Amino acid sequence: MTIFTIMIAYILGIIWGLYIKNIVPLFFIIIAIILIRKIVNSKNVKQYNKIENNKNSNKYKKIKNLNKYIKILIPNKKLILILITFTLSFTYICVLEKSFKTKYKNIQGEIKVEGVIISNVKEKEYKDEYIIKVKNINLNKKYNNTHLKLSIKNSKNKLEYGDKIIFTGEFEEPQVQRNYGGFNYKQYLKTGKIYGLVTTNKIEKVEKGKYNKLLILINRINQKIVHNANQILEKEEASLLTGILIGNKENLNKDIQESFRASNLSHMLAVSGAHVTYVILGITIILEKSKINKKISKVITIIILIIFIFLTRTTPSVTRACIMTIYIIFGSLIYKKPNILASISASILIILIINPYKILDVGMQLSYGGTLGIILLNKILEEKIKISELKIKLINKLLANVKQMLIVSISANLIIFPIIAVHYNTISLTFFISNILAGPILGIIIILGFITIFISFISIQISKIPAIILSIFIRLLIQIANFSSSLPFSKIYVKTPSIFTIILYYVILIIIIYLIKCRGRACLYPNRNRRRLEKNILNKLKNKKLQKRIIAITLIIVLIFQITKILPWALKIYFIDVGQGDSTLIVTPNHKTILIDGGGSEANESYDVGKNTLIPYLLDRGITKLDYIFISHFDSDHVRTDC
């Protein structure tokens, strides 16, 4: 549990540094806890007895019980460990925040940049985009090792990963959120350690291969996989395959991405534990046939998994799966029993030590949330969901597989529902249908996809034979995504949940899990003191008077929230930034909502302002219904006339 405690403290330190930014209140809380412990420790208890002259007094008993619970929940050693870890992560994120604020503060106008390309080209309509690792700016080396996003307008010559370049361009600071609850581009770029944007028309390529040789080689393999996939499959199928196998979604059709998102199948486009399992299976088969020593085989597996992390662009989901697997394999090398919770904690710590801003990455939140859901709820749901056995063995096996997929899907989604609601303002009630249909297909595509790509490195012509079957399954997966996204209740818009709602949801879920696991058992922990504490908690929860009090308090809180919604407010007028256009939201004292104009844009007709800006804004404001909509006039910057 030590590494788990460190992980929790480390995460809390990062969150505190990002949002609260003041460590003083925490020290007051810690000092208060220490003082309480000191007041009622064994020596001070005797002094307290002399004052009270009554060991049996209610006041004495309450303080003694409080001290007992504090000692059980927060032992001295654990408290010190939490404090040290919290302080370190808090300090680390504060230093990084200061760096992002001050490093490029005085950079204005044209700058001369020397750096190295550390990404492949991302082709846009009128420009090419790259990530560069800066060597110096205007010959000043204080910017060394910082990252910038480079845009080259009207570029004919493509740059390659590892190219050393020199150019003069315009620096631009990334935009923060323009509307309430909107997308913060500056914060998003921090997850990639990117400080800003720079635009130029001309690049001077100085030298090739001026980056880590191993990373350049891995990148070439990545690009070779993409190239070979396009050689043996149609463009749409190839982009989906590379998305599934190595997480490369750059060329994936937006409609396909949307249908996968609406059908709750986006996780299939993120390389995760399933992919790593198949990779390990393939490695194991090859190494067993080669009759290599088991310890050496495990070391080779660890090396291949590290390479696979970089091959898939260190995406959080695959990094999590690989680090967890490496942790377990390494544990077996030193004869240590595998611990899932410890492996998860280790993987989170490694990712967040490298880049604490990864905690803001949606992919990371969904990946870890889903994994925790499966670990915490899988066994509980297996016991609760029962399928009656039939006489036909084949059908029983099929039903067992369906049950397992259903349980895994429900387990993961129960944890990630709030995360999806916060980031996408949608939930799906048909997720189990899409996952049951697509789950087996995905497994076939991963196995057959890896085999086909491996053969393509030997011969493109031979690889086209298994590619025929692979193409059928990829098409089938697309059809399942399209079908699932068209089902009723596959995409339900919800207002953005508040922090209080999210905390309440997880607290209730944890209590339910805790009570279910404790039922019929003495406790979850081997420690005697914790057993007593759990028994006391459970006995109190069984008390009918306490149950009535909890229900009454809950009803009062709900009633207060409902009353606050009915009570009149002040008139509120919000001016919404919709780019080139106008839009205004009015909320009257009687809670009537009025929208004046919906915005629009002549410059970019493909961008749907209503879908991408207005709906998220309204849901962030907690508005799910508009009472009135007014259009001042029908110019395209006030309303989309084609809607």
C-beta atoms surrounding 51 within 10 Å: 8
Q: Of residues 11 and 63, which shows the higher confidence score? A: 11
Average pLDDT over every residue of 87-112 = 89
Residue range 150-167: average pLDDT?
88
pLDDT at position 116 is 95
Mean pLDDT is lowest, of 257-271, 357-371, 477-491, 501-515, for 257-271
Interaxial angle between packed helices 24-39 and 76-102, expressed in degrees from 0 to 180 and rounded to the nearest 10: 170
Return the amino acid letter for 118.
Answer: I
Mean pLDDT, rounded, for 140-169 = 89
pLDDT class of 392 with cuts at 50, 70, 90? low
Within 13 Å, how many C-alpha atoms sit on residue 444's CB side? Answer: 16
pLDDT score at 529? 53
- pLDDT at position 643, please? 47
Lowest mean pLDDT among 66-75, 209-218, 470-479, 589-598: 66-75
Per-residue pLDDT at 398: 78
Q: Which tokens hold the place of 546? A: 């306490």
Q: Residue 149: its pLDDT value, please?
A: 95
What does the pLDDT look like over 348-381, one tens digit per residue? 999 999 999 999 988 888 888 888 888 888 888 8
Least confident of 127-136, 443-452, 502-511, 524-533: 524-533
Evaluate whether 555 touches 94 at the Cβ level (below 8 Å).
no
> What is the C-alpha to C-alpha distance for residues 444 and 475, in angstroms, rounded to an integer?
13
**Which DSSP category does 140 fall into?**
B
Across the range 276-288, mean pLDDT stands at: 79
pLDDT above 70 coverage of the chain, percent? 83
Rounded average pLDDT over 269-280:
75
Token pair of 256, please?
A: 């396909």
The C-alpha atoms of residue 437 and residue 444 are separated, in whole angstroms, by: 13
Confidence of residue 23 (pLDDT cuts 50, 70, 90): low
Q: What pLDDT, on the 0 to 100 scale, is given for residue 32?
A: 62
State both tokens at 447: 């196995």
Q: With H, G, I as helix, E, B as strand and everything else as coil, classify residue 596.
A: strand
What percent of the chain is predicted at pLDDT more than 90? Answer: 22
Contact 428, 259 (CB under 8 A): no
What domains can be seen in the chain, in order of their start residue? 2-102 (no CATH), 110-211 (2.40.50), 572-630 (no CATH)
Burial of 263 (0-12, 13-18, 19+ CB in 10 A): buried
For residues 625 and 634, which has the higher predicted lDDT (pLDDT)?
625
- Express each pLDDT in 118-128 by its tens digit: 998 888 878 88
Task: Give which of 624, 628, 633, 569 is closest to 600, Cα–Cα.
Answer: 633
d(C-alpha 177, C-alpha 379), whole Å: 42
Q: In sequence order, which residues have a C-beta less than 8 Å from that of residue 212 and are 6 or more positions away?
A: none
- State the average pLDDT over residues 231-251: 86
Pairing status of strand 122-123 against strand 628-630 = unpaired
Position 70 confidence tier, pLDDT thresholds 50, 70, 90: low
pTM of the model: 0.82
- The mean per-residue pLDDT over the stretch 509-524 comes to 67
List Cα–Cα distances, 554 to 513, 540, 541, 548, 558, in angstroms.
20, 17, 15, 10, 6
User: CA 621 to CA 303: how far, in whole Å?
Assistant: 48
Of how many residues is the chain composed?
643
CA 500 to chain centre: 20
Sign of CA dihedral 482, 488, 489, 495: positive
Q: Are strands 194-200 and 164-172 parallel, antiparallel or unpaired?
A: antiparallel
Mean pLDDT of 579-591: 84
- Higher pLDDT, residue 242 or 384: 242
Reported as a pLDDT band with limits 50, 70 and 90, residue 163 is very high
Average pLDDT, rounded, for the chain: 81
Write b or e for each residue in 382-421: b if 16 or more Cβ atoms lie within 10 A of its Cβ, otherwise e. eeeeeeeeeeeeeeeeeeeeebbbbbbbbbbbbbbbbbbb
In angstroms, the CA 253 to CA 481 distance is 13
Residue 34 confidence (pLDDT): 60
More confident residue, 112 or 26: 112
Report the range of poorest mean pLDDT among 236-240, 301-305, 520-524, 609-613: 520-524
Distance between CA 438 and CA 267 in Å, rounded? Answer: 11
Whether 43 has a pLDDT exceeding 50, the answer reads: no
Confidence class of residue 522 from pLDDT cuts 50, 70 and 90? Answer: very low
Q: Which residues contact 599 (CB under 8 A, 6 or more apart)?
A: 576, 578, 579, 581, 582, 583, 609, 610, 613, 614, 637, 638, 639
Tokens of 498: 């508040």
Per-residue confidence band for 30, with pLDDT thresholds at 50, 70 and 90 = low
Nearest to 620 by CA among 59, 257, 181, 199: 181
Q: What element of type H or E holds 178? A: none
Cα separation, 292 vs 283, in Å, equals 12
Which residues, at least 6 apart from 566, have a Cβ–Cβ distance to it below 8 Å? none
SS in 3 state form for 340-377? HHHHHHHHHHHHHHHCHHHHHCHHHHHHHHHHHHHHHH
Question: Does pLDDT of 563 surpass 90?
Answer: no
pLDDT for the residue 57: 56
Please state, in angstroms and as integers, the Cα–Cα distance from residue 546 to each residue in 505, 542, 551, 567, following that order.
Answer: 21, 8, 9, 31
Asked if the model's pLDDT at residue 388 lies above 70, the reply is: no
| Residue 457: band (very low, low, confident or very high) from pLDDT cuts 50, 70, 90 | very high
Which whole number is the average pLDDT over 578-593? 85
pLDDT above 90 (res 453): yes
Q: Which residue has the tokens 């495990």?
A: 298
| Higher per-residue confidence, 231 vs 557 | 231
State the pLDDT at residue 44: 47
Give the pLDDT band (50/70/90) at residue 601. low
